[in-house]
Amino acid sequence: MDCTALAGILFPQIQDTPEILEARFPPRAFPREALSGGEAAVTRFAPSPTGFLHLGNLYGALADERLAHRSGGVFYLRIEDTDQKREVPGAVEKILEMLNEFDIPLDEGAGLDPASLYGPYYQRRRAEIYQACAKWLTARGLAYPCFCSEDELNAIRGQQAAGKANPGYYGAWAVHRELSPAEAARRVSEGAPYVLRLRSPGDPGKRVKFTDLGRGALDFPENDQDVVLLKSDGIPTYHFAHVVDDHFMRTTHVVRGDEWLATLPVHLQLFSLMGWKPPKYLHTAPLMKQDGASKRKLSKRKDPELSLDFYRERGYCAAALKEYLMTLLNSNFEEWRAANPGAPLADFPFSVKKMSASGALFDLDKLNDVSRGVIARMTAGEVYGLLSAWAGRYDPEFSALLARGPAYAEAILAIGRGGPKPRKDLAAWSEAKAYMSFFYDELFTPSGAYPPNMDEQTVRGTLARFAGGYDPTEDNAAWFERVKALAAEIGFAANMKDYKQNPDAWPGHVGDVSMALRVAVTGRRESPDLCEVMRLLGKERVRRRLVRD
């Protein structure tokens, strides 16, 4: 019996060949005008449906999407569900929700039109495609059934450890590598469980040279491990599925974490044995965090900010988090944003050449900074809509206040918005309640933090005088003239220039009067433009807060 006969026994139901699959999944065609000065990239987001979506997932998906769409290519979603033990019900829906929430558009893939030419996009539904390729490798003597039990594999590992040999299933340790096709067929016919392994032709004494898009020239030993291709249920391992899928889905660029670098020799070897051109690889360093004097990888166990729910609960808007990740993905993004403050993020000329190979440092303070800028560029209507949606889910009491008067809430949010230097008060929606609290009597808390050079009698008299003549129809200039006149009435300097020239000549200045008004009306020493605040509160509420019984 030869290897072709063994392949027929192992895969009797498989009639397809790699040649048939080549015709079924032809190379993608892109119009020349779609290209941005180079190759149209086909990229994929390929998560496992485990239910936990984190910042690293979003970071990778954004890189894939930008690389594809900036080049006029295709971005698709593939679900790597070969490990059913880890699959969580509803996980795929959560993945699609994440991509939609963060405006990362898919061109094809799981959850979209199932009639797409390159599907199905769930790996467990592609079993016959993998088996066709596995049958082809077996027929050429490049794959074989391995009948080792878990106990036997553990015994091999123990012997290797004792002899300080490299771990793995290779060479003399590959006990079923040299079984004859006839003997292998006999064991299969008797019902012996098996996995299908690669018969690696690699020699670790030889080196493979490869150029990574991020790390440049790499050099590593050839793979000599007889890795598992198909598990005992006929479902492929990650290594084999990755190679087969990326070829027949015509993936041109693979962006993945550098934890996969160690397996790159296996993947390149598989591409070579199948006679396929490998995609271009970009191995990215993990998101890092400053921990004392050192840096470490963001941890699912230690760092709540790795989870996307952390940002949802605190009210970081999706646009801000996405923009912050762009500052980590490309070193020149901030410079571009400064020069193009109103441009959509999609206009940024994303480039893999600007990605860091050493690991991006996640900084929550920097995120807050970026988020304030993003929110400041929004219209009051956009802010109100997003804030209302967040409050409806996470703060029902505040949601009810916002819904009671949408126009009023939107007018609050409009103060200081627009213009070349808009206010940057909010980094997250969870900060809005405190920021807006003095506009709502239910949330307003009076304060006694008046200027120390104004005693209680002076404060009371000053506030009462202003309340008596306050006219909400006055513009900002007229309003401030009234404040200056009030300062002069109580013997304070009406002009800061005069006060600075001779501070000892005055008990205080116009800024103190303005501060006393601010504290009385808002309960705080800092707030948006006080004239606008008073106008929005209305004459009666302003009077009540100024005139104390």
Per the annotation, the verdict on 209 as an active-site residue is: no
Distance in angstroms (rounded) separating the CA atoms of residues 112 and 347: 26
Residue type, 82: T
- Owner of token pair 């392949």: 7
Distance in angstroms (rounded) separating the CA atoms of residues 22 and 44: 19
Question: How does DSSP assign 448-469, residue by residue?
Answer: ----TTS-HHHHHHHHHHHHHH
Three-state DSSP state, 60: helix
Q: Which two tokens stand for residue 87?
A: 């699959």
Q: Which residues contact 206 (CB under 8 A, 6 or more apart)?
A: 221, 222
Q: How far is CA 392 from CA 216, 337, 396, 514, 548, in A?
A: 49, 32, 5, 36, 35
Q: How far apart are the first and last CA of the chain?
A: 105
Per-residue burial over 211-238, b if 16 or more Cβ lie within 10 Å, else e, is ebbbbeeeeeebbbbbbbbbeeeebbbb
Question: How does DSSP assign 11-59, residue by residue?
Answer: -TT----HHHHHHHSPPP---GGG-SSSPPPEEEE---S-S--BHHHHH
Distance in angstroms (rounded) separating the CA atoms of residues 113 and 122: 13
φ, ψ of residue 67 in degrees (nearest 5): -60, -45
Distance in angstroms (rounded) separating the CA atoms of residues 298 and 287: 6
| Contact yes or no for 121/76 (Cβ under 8 A) | yes
253-257 and 207-212: which strand pairing? unpaired
**DSSP run (H or E) holding 497:** helix 496-501
Residue of 300, 302, 354, 500 marked active site: 300
Distance in angstroms (rounded) separating the CA atoms of residues 482 and 495: 13
φ, ψ of residue 328 in degrees (nearest 5): -80, -30
| Contact yes or no for 287/328 (Cβ under 8 A) | yes
DSSP state at residue 237:
P
**DSSP run (H or E) holding 132:** helix 127-139
Q: Which residues contact 145 (CB under 8 A, 6 or more apart)?
A: 10, 176, 179, 184, 187, 188, 194, 195, 196, 197
Helices (H), 140-237: 150-162, 181-189
| Contact yes or no for 87/123 (Cβ under 8 A) | no
Q: Which residues form the catalytic set? A: 300
